[in-house]
Each structure stands twice: as structure tokens, then as C-alpha cells.
A = this chain, B = another copy of it.
């Protein structure tokens, strides 16, 4: 109810502040007997970890995951899986200079107004550090999906005005290889180079820039998604919009579809013996809120990070004018580290709907 829980059957609850002892997550509803590869969970966290390249924040956190419960002899037991990620680099003093002021376009003011408690230590619960817990939980969701043959791939499709071309029809394995070959996590090498240069220039200027992440899901079975309100794309949209800095979500034809005519946009079914395919896929793999077996695809838009290295005018808690200093360690562009967060949230939505779909029909 207080918004710290996501999912219905494959359900996660995250906890922890950026400068407390630890952050963590409880995964409740993961079926028993799933082999849990802890190295895989850690490798996912490493993709989100700060300090991984010159275009990410230099804050140092190893983000080492610790299992407290729910796994026995390498398998899920069906009981809650509790994962803990201790906070190491909680230099609260980095935030002392901003103790009394509200940082522009951050959550300082709204949290203070809502809760009557000012935790000035770098965002507290509103910090994107919370997403590490989601990545850990998402890794388990990915293991569950992989067991059922479902695969997810996201990459950076835009930084500022630099857009990646439509990707050739490569396998997800190939795409992952291309993506992890550069620090911006764009699967198109030429575009990736431009993106890195752009972010580096923005960083040197003490500024930040927005971007987009595109994601696709392959081998999704037909039937996932619950009409009316829990349409698959509605739950994907909520999942993505709950990630820090996200301002937009579109799937299939998205906003460009608003300019099309029905006769262009309709996806014609092709004769087939098994699950039918469609000639085009403007539906983005989802019709009536339910997966139709085609590739699911969507795009997520991120605003530029609010913390910049410029001094800015703002106010303090009394409402008086104040200046905020541009200090600290922050990301010039959030998308390279957010790729794995987008994948994690997509995996959580799909795992949840996979389970929900199991009780749809009479045996």
C-alpha cells in the first residue's frame, strides 16, 4: 500500500535507504525448485554498479549480494528469498553542504512535505540506489523465465539526439555481446561511439543528458496479461515509469502509431499450423493486453539526471532563496547503468504474469 511492493504472484518488496546499513529485497512467490545461480545475480548487479566506467558516477560500491533465506542447496524453497546488499560508501558528509536546501528536480522537497522527515543523506529512499535491489530480484525472475525459454534484451537506443538505428535481426546472444562490448551499452557499435563521446563531453561540462532504452522479449508464450486493468503493456509501463528519471513509455508502434491509419497499422495474421504469426508487429507482441506470441518491444524515455556540477538557485526549508553548490559524484547520463534495471523490471512483470496465467483455465 505504501508503494514498496511490486507484483502479485511473483512479488518483490524492497527496503533500505542510500545511506543506511543496507538495502535489500524480499522475493515472495518464486516457485520452489528453481536453481539459483548466485554468480548470475552478482553479474547483473555489476552491470548497475556505480564506478564501472568513466561515464558513470565514481561513487564506490561493490554491491555484493548476500542471501538470507529462501534458498537451500542451490534451489529456491518456495519461501521468501531475502537478499541483502550492504551499503559501503555512505559518505553522508558529501551531502552536508546541501542539508538545508531542496535540490532542484530531486525528491527532497516532496519527501519532506509528505513525511515531515528530512533525510538529507543523498536521497534516502528516493535514491536510485534502491534499484540495485530490483536488479537482484530481477535476476531471479530472469532465471525463472530462462527456465521457460523466455529471453529479454534491452540496450541504449538514444542519448540526447543521437539515436541508434533499428537493429538487424541478430540473436539475443549476439546482441548481448555487441552491447557489452562498449561502456554505453548500445548494441550498434558506431552509434555507441558517438554516444560515449557525447556523454563524456556533457560530463566535462558538469552537465547531464537524457536518453532512451529499448527492450524486447523473445519466446514469450501466448496468453500473458490480464485484461482489463492489468494488461501486459500497462504493467510493463508502470514498471518502467517506476524507475527513477523515466518520463515516458511506449510499446509497439508507440507514439508514431498515433499518426497512422488503421489500414496501415493492422497486423495481418498469416496462415499457420501452430501459433499464428503476423505480417507486421505494430501491436508490439500484445493484443487486448495479452501477449500474442510475437516479439514484445517497448521504449523507455529517461530525463537528464538532476544533479549537475553547476551552482543553482533554489530554496531552503523555510522557503528562502539559497544557492546549491555543484559538488559530489553523479552520473552524467543514467541510461548505461539503467539497461539492466529495465531488463529486471521487465523480467519481474513477465514472471508475475506467467504465474498469473497458470490459473486462467480449468485443468
Contacts and interface: CB of A to CB of B under 8 A. Distances in A.
A346 to B, nearest CB: 14
Given A209-B262, A359-B31, A1 B11 contact: yes
A207 to B, nearest CB: 5
Nearest to A20: B69
A53 interface: no
B3 A226 contact: yes
A225 to B, nearest CB: 8
Contacts of A148: 363
Contacts of A29: 1-2, 359
Number of copies of this chain that the complex holds: 4
A207 B265 CA distance: 11
Interface in A253-294: 253-255, 257-276, 278, 282-284, 287-292
Contact of A238 (B237, B291, B358): B237
B209 A288 contact: no
Contact of A304 (B26, B102, B265, B271): B265
Nearest to A254: B248
Given A28-B2, A315-B272, A304 B228 contact: no
B271 A319 contact: yes
14 contacts: A1-B9, A3-B227, A4-B79, A4-B227, A20-B68, A78-B114, A107-B287, A126-B227, A160-B261, A210-B261, A247-B255, A247-B258, A248-B257, A257-B303
Interface in A214-262: 222-223, 225-231, 233-235, 237-239, 241-242, 247-255, 257-262
A342 B64 CA distance: 38
Given A110-B290, A302-B258, A28 B16 contact: no
A43 interface: no
A194 interface: no
A247 B241 contact: no
B13 A72 contact: no
A176 interface: no
Contacts of A268: 104, 312-314
Given A2-B360, A237-B241, A237-B249, 14 more contacts: A1-B8, A1-B29, A16-B80, A31-B359, A32-B116, A105-B283, A110-B223, A110-B292, A158-B258, A210-B265, A248-B254, A265-B306, A268-B313, A269-B313
A119 interface: yes
A56 interface: no
A138 interface: no
Given A15-B68, A82-B16, A359-B355, A301 B238 contact: no
Interface string A1-30: 111111011010111110011111010110
Nearest to A272: B319
Interface in A299-355: 301-308, 310, 312-315, 319-321, 355
Contacts of A289: 3, 107, 110, 126, 242
